[in-house]
A and B are shown apart, each in its own frame.
Chain A
Amino acid sequence: MAAEGHSPLAQFEIKTLIPLKMGEIDVSFTNSALFMTLTLVLVTLFLVLGMRQRALVPGRWQSMAELSYEFVANMLRDNVGNDGRKYFPFVFSLFMFILFGNMLGMIPYSFTFTSHIIVTFALAAVVFIGVTVLGFVKHGFHFFSFFVPPGVSVALWPLLIPIEIISYLSRPVSLSVRLFANMLAGHTLLKVFAGFIISLGIYFGWVPLAFVVALSGLEILIAFLQAYVFTILTCLYINDALHMH
C-alpha cells in the first residue's frame, strides 16, 4: 500500500468520499463523482455567467460561451444538416461534458473521470443505442439495408454484410476506447516522467521536467481533440442514422 502513491496508475484510483447505498446498489459519492459534479457546475457557470449580460457586442467571456455554442452547432450542421438541430442539446452537452472532464483532469492532483473505460463506454453506449433506435424509428426495418453496401454484387453479400455488422457493432468500442486510452496513456506518461524528476535529482531532473512541461501542452491539446473527436463521430453516426446511404 505504501508504494501505491508512487505508482503511475494510483491517480486513477476511485476513492469513496461519501459512502451511499441505494437498496443493494453502491452509489457512493467518489472522487470520480466529485469531478463529474464539478464539470456540471463549471459548464453551467461558464455559460450562465458568460451570457448574463446578453450583450449585443459580446465581451471576452461571452465570446467564449458563444464560440462553444457555434462550434458545436457548426459541427452538427456540417455533418448532419438542418434536421440535426433536434439533437443539438445532446451533442452540445456531450462535448462540454467530455471537454471539461478532460480539462479538469489536466489540473495536478485532480481526477480524470474520462480515463475510466466504464464512463467512456457508458457515454459511447448511449450514443450507439440512441443512434440505432433513431435509425429504426426513422427507417423501420429498412434500416437493416444499412448493412448492405450499395452497388455491390449479391455474390459478395455473405462476405460484406458480416463485416458491416461487425464494424457497426465495434463503433461503441472504438469510440469509448479511443477516449479512455488517450486519457489513460497521457496521464500515465505524465506521472512516469514526473517521477523521474525526483529520482534524477537536481542536476538531471530538468530534462524530464522540460519533457513534462511540453507533454502537458500536448495533453491539453489532446484533451480538446478527444472531446472533439468523440463529438464529431457522434454527429457522423447521427447522420448515418438519419440519412442512410
Chain B
Amino acid sequence: MPQLDPTTFAPQLFWLLVTFVLLYLVMWKIILPKIGGVLQDRQERIDDDLEKAEQLRKEAEAVKEAYEQTVAEGRSKAQETIRAAGEKIAADAAEQHAALTEKLAAQTSDAEARIVAAKEEALKNIRTVATEVTQAAAGRLIGREVSDSEAEAAVGAVFDEEQR
C-alpha cells in the first residue's frame, strides 16, 4: 500500500505545509475580507432599502389617512346639505299646503255664502211669483179681483205651513 511508505512522507508533508499555509494566507488576507465586504455592503444596502421602504410606507399611510379624513368630512357635509335641503323642502311644502288650504277654505265659505244668498233670493222670488200666480189664478176662479194683501196672506199661510 503506497500510503504506508515512509519515504514519501517528507515530501508530502513539506508540500502540504507550503500549499496550506499559502492558501491560509491568501484566504485570510485577500479573499475573505473581499467576500465579507461585498456581503456586508449588500446587507447594508438591503437594510437601507428596507428602512426607506418603511418610511415610504408610513408616508403613504399618512396620505391615506388624510384622504380618508377628507372623504369623511365631505360625506358629512353632503349629508348636512341633504338634510337642510330636505327640511327646507318640507317647510316650503307645509307652508304652501297651509296657504292653499286657507285659500280653499275661504273660497268654500265664500261660495257657501253665495249659495245661501242665492237660495234666499230664490225663495223670496218664489214667494213673490207664487203670490202673483195665486192672485191671478184665484181672480180667474172666483171672478173678482183679489187684493194683493189677501193673496199675500194666503200664500204666506201656505208657506208658513210648509216651513213648519
Contacts and interface: CB of A to CB of B under 8 A. Distances in A.
Interface of A: 9, 12-14, 16, 20, 22, 25-30, 32-33, 36-37, 39-40, 43-44, 47-48, 51, 54-56, 62, 65-66, 69-70, 88-90, 92-93, 96-97, 113, 115-119, 122-123, 180, 184
> Interface residue tally of chain B, by bracket?
35 or more
A116 B12 contact: yes
Name which of B4, B18, B24, B27 has the most chain A CB atoms within 10 A of its CB: B27
11 contacts: A26-B11, A30-B11, A33-B12, A39-B19, A39-B23, A43-B23, A47-B27, A51-B34, A54-B38, A93-B24, A118-B9
Interface in B25-53: 26-28, 30-32, 34-39, 41-42, 45
Given A9-B2, A44-B23, A47-B31, A69 B12 contact: no
B8 interface: yes
A119 B12 contact: yes
Contacts of A16: 11
B20 A30 contact: no
Nearest to B34: A51
B141 interface: no
A35 to B, nearest CB: 9
B36 A69 contact: yes
Interface of B: 1-5, 7-20, 22-24, 26-28, 30-32, 34-39, 41-42, 45
Contacts of A51: 31, 34-35, 38
Contact of A97 (B8, B13, B23, B39): B23
A27 B11 contact: yes
Given A37-B19, A93-B23, A93-B24, A118 B39 contact: no
B35 A65 contact: yes
Contact of B19 (A30, A36, A88): A36
**Interface residue SS majority, chain A:** helix
Contact of A33 (B5, B11, B27): B11
B35 A66 contact: yes
B5 A44 contact: no
A96 B27 contact: yes
A47 B23 CA distance: 12
Contact of B12 (A44, A93, A97, A118): A118
Given A27-B15, A97-B20, A14 B31 contact: no
Nearest to A22: B14
A67 B109 CA distance: 107
B19 A40 contact: yes
Pairs of residues from A and B, 9 with the lowest C-beta to C-beta distance, nearest first: A33-B15, A89-B28, A36-B19, A14-B8, A27-B14, A93-B24, A12-B2, A69-B35, A40-B19
Given A116-B3, A118-B9, A29 B15 contact: yes
B32 A12 contact: no
B12 to A, nearest CB: 5
B15 A54 contact: no
B3 A117 contact: yes
A90 B11 contact: no
Contacts of A180: 3
Contacts of B38: 51, 54-55, 62, 66
Given A44-B31, A66-B38, A118-B9, 4 more contacts: A25-B14, A33-B19, A44-B23, A118-B13
B3 A118 contact: yes
B19 A47 contact: no
A39 B23 CA distance: 9
Name which of A16, A70, A118 has the most chain B CB atoms within 10 A of its CB: A118
Nearest to B13: A122
Contact of B42 (A44, A56, A93): A56
Contacts of A9: 1-2
Contacts of A90: 24, 28
